[in-house]
């Protein structure tokens, strides 16, 4: 970072107010310091802008004649000590350019900070929405289980939790409840992405954990939720696992494994 003394040297250099020895020393220092070079470049632009904003004025002929007459007279030359008055003469310019540099640096730091704060606020909002959605899904599934307990149906039920395999629907979750004696079940899903009109979700029961048996097709609402009662196309001996695939409208005879979206057991 450029210190205050070097900023002053840079301002004097741009204005041509350094002595030859100081100017040579400053140029050597600047050649080895990219940050100082950038500072001098900014000050040069500001100096050019200030110089260009002053209009040129043609002096009157009388003033020119008077100056020439004074020049023709012998003048007493007094040598002033080097830089006796210069600090006071250029102090205002140094302060002005210093303020310009400070404003530029502040602007460079404030803008990224503002963008970072905005991005973090969006992330916090998204996380809060995710928490609320998951809480709602959990409450819905718990209510389904409690309702079944009240009717004494849990004793003969096979309960399976299905997890999402989709990167674009990581919050999707489902529960399948299968009554082995009645060969029927209830399927509840939350946060599964809705499909276009030409596609359906298809539920499968894996008999003995290996043989997929069609349990029907379903669609979710705009929030990705649905509760359906289902029966399989053939007898299930042992409901090992449950799976959901995305298929063409109306379903298929055997599951498309690459389109599997949920599975669990």
Strand, helix or coil for residue 199: strand
* Residue that finishes a domain, picked among 151, 177, 199: 151
On whether both 165 and 260 belong to a single domain, the answer is: yes
List Cα–Cα distances, 37 to 2, 26, 142, 203, in angstroms: 11, 11, 67, 69
On whether both 133 and 164 belong to a single domain, the answer is: no
Give the pLDDT of the chain (265 residues) as one tens digit per residue: 677 777 777 777 777 777 888 888 888 888 888 888 888 887 776 655 544 444 544 556 655 565 556 555 555 555 545 554 455 445 566 666 666 666 666 666 666 777 777 887 887 887 777 777 777 766 777 776 666 555 555 566 888 999 999 888 788 999 999 998 899 999 999 999 999 999 999 999 998 878 899 999 999 999 999 999 999 999 999 998 999 999 999 999 999 999 999 999 8
State the number of CA atoms in the 13 A half-sphere of 154 facing the CB: 8
pTM (2 d.p.)? 0.45
pLDDT at 197: 95
On whether both 141 and 204 belong to a single domain, the answer is: no
8 A C-beta contact, residue 176 and residue 242: yes
On whether both 200 and 146 belong to a single domain, the answer is: no
On whether both 190 and 123 belong to a single domain, the answer is: no
- Find the domain containing 7 and state its range: 1-49+88-151
* Residue that finishes a domain, picked among 106, 131, 151: 151
d(CA 213, CA 186): 16
On whether both 109 and 125 belong to a single domain, the answer is: yes
User: In this structure, how many other beta carbons lie within 10 angstroms of the beta carbon of residue 239?
Assistant: 24
Instruction: Tell me the CATH number at 191.
Output: 2.60.40
Listed as own residue / partner, the contacts of 46-55 with beta carbons closer than 8 Å and 24 or more positions apart are: 46/97, 46/100, 47/14, 47/15
């Amino acid at each position: 970072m450029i210190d205050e003394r070097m900023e002053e040297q840079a301002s004097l250099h741009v204005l041509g107010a350094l002595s030859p020895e100081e100017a040579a020393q400053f140029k050597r220092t600047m050649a080895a310091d990219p940050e100082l070079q950038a500072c001098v470049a900014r000050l040069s632009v500001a100096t050019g802008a200030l110089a260009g904003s002053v209009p040129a004025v043609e002096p009157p002929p009388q003033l020119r004649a008077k100056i020439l007459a004074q020049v023709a007279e012998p003048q007493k030359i007094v040598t002033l000590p080097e830089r006796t008055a210069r600090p006071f003469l250029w102090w205002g310019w140094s302060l002005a350019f210093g303020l310009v540099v400070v404003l530029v640096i502040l602007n460079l730091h404030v803008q990224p900070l503002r963008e970072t704060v905005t991005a973090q606020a969006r992330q916090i909002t998204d996380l809060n929405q995710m928490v609320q959605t998951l809480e709602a899904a959990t409450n819905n599934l718990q209510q389904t289980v409690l309702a079944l307990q009240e009717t004494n149906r849990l004793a003969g039920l096979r309960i399976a939790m299905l997890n999402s395999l989709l990167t674009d629907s990581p919050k999707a979750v489902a529960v399948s409840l299968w009554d082995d004696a009645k060969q029927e079940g209830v399927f509840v899903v939350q946060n599964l992405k809705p499909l276009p009109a030409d596609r359906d979700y298809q539920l499968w029961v894996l008999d003995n954990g290996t043989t997929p048996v069609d349990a029907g097709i379903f669609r979710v609402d705009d929030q990705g939720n649905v509760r359906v009662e289902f029966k399989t196309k053939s007898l299930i001996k042992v409901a090992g696992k449950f799976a959901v695939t995305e298929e063409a409208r109306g379903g298929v005879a055997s599951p498309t494994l690459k389109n599997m979206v949920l599975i669990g057991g």
